[in-house]
Structures are given as C-alpha cells and as structure tokens.
Amino acid sequence: MFKNIFFPVLLTSCLLTACITSPTGRSQLVFMPETQINQMGLQAFDSLKKEKTVSTNSQYNQLAGCISQAITQELGGNWEVVVFEDKSANAFALPGNKIGIYTGMLALVDNHDQLAAVIGHEVGHVLAKHSNERASQEMAVNQGMAMIQAIGSPQSALGQTAFGLLGLGAEYGILMPYSRVQESEADIIGADLMAKAGFDPRQSIALWQKMEQASQGQQPVEFLSTHPANATRIQNLEQHMPQAMSFYQQAQAMGKQPHCS
C-alpha cells in the first residue's frame, strides 16, 4: 500500500519540478536523470558497434569527422563519430555525445553542407533532450518506475522500449519515432548549428527536398521512415532561414569556412 501511495506523490513532485525550456523556447517535461539517459546512449552505441560493420573508408571517415567536429566544437565536449557500413540513408546522434552515420547517407548527399544539415539535425535532438523528454513522458504515462530498471536490461522487452525512446527503436525491432514537434525543433536547431559552424543553411532545404524525391523511388529512404519530412517541414525551414543566414554570415565574417569536401 505504501508503494501505491508513494509513486503518485513522487510522480506529482516530478511533474511539478521537471518543466524545462528547450533551445527554441518550448516547454518540456524532463525528469529522467541525465546520467541515466547518457548511459542508455552509451550502451546503445556500443551495441551498434558490435552488431554493425564499422566502415574503413578513409574518405567517408574524414568527411564525417570533419563536419561533426566543426559543428560540435561550438558545443564543447568530446564527441565520438562512427561511420557504419550500411546502404541505408540514415544517421543518428545519441545522449553521451555519440554520432553515427551510415554509408548510404554519405552516398546520398550532394555536398558537405547537406551532410552538415543531417548531422546538425541529429545533434539538435541531443541538445534539446528529446530522448529524455520522450523517456520521461513514457515513464509518467505508462511504465512508472520500471523504466529505470529497464536501463540495466537492454535485451528485455521493456529494455528495448527504453532504447526505442532514444530514437534507435528500429534497430531493436520497435519503431518509436520522434514526434513531429521534436522533428521540427531539431530541424531549426540543426540549421542554426550548421550555420554557426560555417556551413550554408540553405542546403538544409535542398537536403529535405532531395530526401523526399529519393523516398518516392522503389525503396523509401530509411531516414524518412523514422524522421517524417513533408512540405510543412520545408516551409518551417524557409521561414527560419533569415535567422540561420544571419548566423552563417557572422560565421563567414569570423573566418569559419570549413573545407570538408
């Protein structure tokens, strides 16, 4: 009986104290400990490195590393970047400063600015604590304190759900895409990140147009299967472009002209 009373009181306390503001000014419910979320990210990344072939393509690794470094040096911290040998056009970033890029994505983009848009978008999810937000919502609504126990049991059904909350659900057989609000937010944050690093943010619009065209072929782009793109997404970026361009012009004036081709 004590547990039945204790959890609602604890949850209510969390809900009252866990509202934070995202980088775009949106109110978020986030109360999972960051150390726990980061640990989940590290576990998921380690699992992927064991399950997938890491690319030895020096050109791909140099390109991915150069762009990721240019973007993340604005943020601080050490970020690990791994290129995975996979024909899917996909990429992700995880809590704990981890970035994964599939060779299929590198083959799809036209230039380093478009790849910067992809990486900036995924890093935007991490900066906005979207994994924590989704895990907190899941914990508050459905799973309760059991979600915390799931972190230590990644192979269990609940553990797979926990990993799904990181945005890696497809890898573990559970598709749990970010919400459209979170996707739009990551688009905006990513455009600003790439612009501040000296990449042309206008290429983010060209990227999503290219992704939409590619998804109309026989095989849909995997990146879009968990990251829905549509006319509204492109329209939002177009509306935000004046601000992103101001960051880009400032970066150019400061001599930030990354050469990652």
Q: Work out the average pLDDT over 172-189.
A: 69
Task: Please say if the pLDDT value at position 243 is more than 90.
Answer: yes
With a cut of 90, say whether residue 97 has pLDDT above it. Answer: yes
For residue range 199-221, list pLDDT tens digits in order.
999 999 999 888 777 766 544 45
Q: What is the pLDDT of residues 30-89, one digit of tens each?
A: 877 888 888 888 988 998 899 899 999 999 999 999 999 999 997 888 999 999 999 988
In 3D space, the residue among 59, 221, 37 whose CA is nearest the CA of residue 45 turns out to be: 37
The end-to-end CA distance of the chain, in Å, is: 63
Position 165 in a domain: yes
Asked whether residue 114 is assigned to any structural domain, the reply reads yes
Mean pLDDT of the chain: 79
Strands 80-84 and 98-102: parallel
* Residue 4, in any domain of the structure: no
Report the candidate in 214, 176, 199 with the shortest Cα–Cα distance to residue 250.
199
Active-site choice (34, 51, 122, 238): 122
In the prediction, which pLDDT does 14 show?
46
Nearest-CA neighbor of 199 among 61, 67, 97, 90?
A: 67
For this structure, is 122 an active site residue?
Answer: yes
Question: Exposed (0-12), middle (13-18) or buried (19+): which is 16, by Cβ within 10 Å?
Answer: exposed
The pLDDT, as a whole number, for residue 29 is 75
Q: What range does the domain containing 215 cover?
A: 32-252
Is residue 60 in some structural domain? yes
Q: Is residue 88 part of a domain?
A: yes
Cα torsion 100, 103, 109, 112 to 10°: value is: 60
What is the domain count for the chain?
1
Confirm whether 157 is domain-assigned: yes
56 occurs within a structural domain: yes
**Is residue 261 in some structural domain?**
no
- Tens digits of residue pLDDT in 32-41: 788 888 888 8
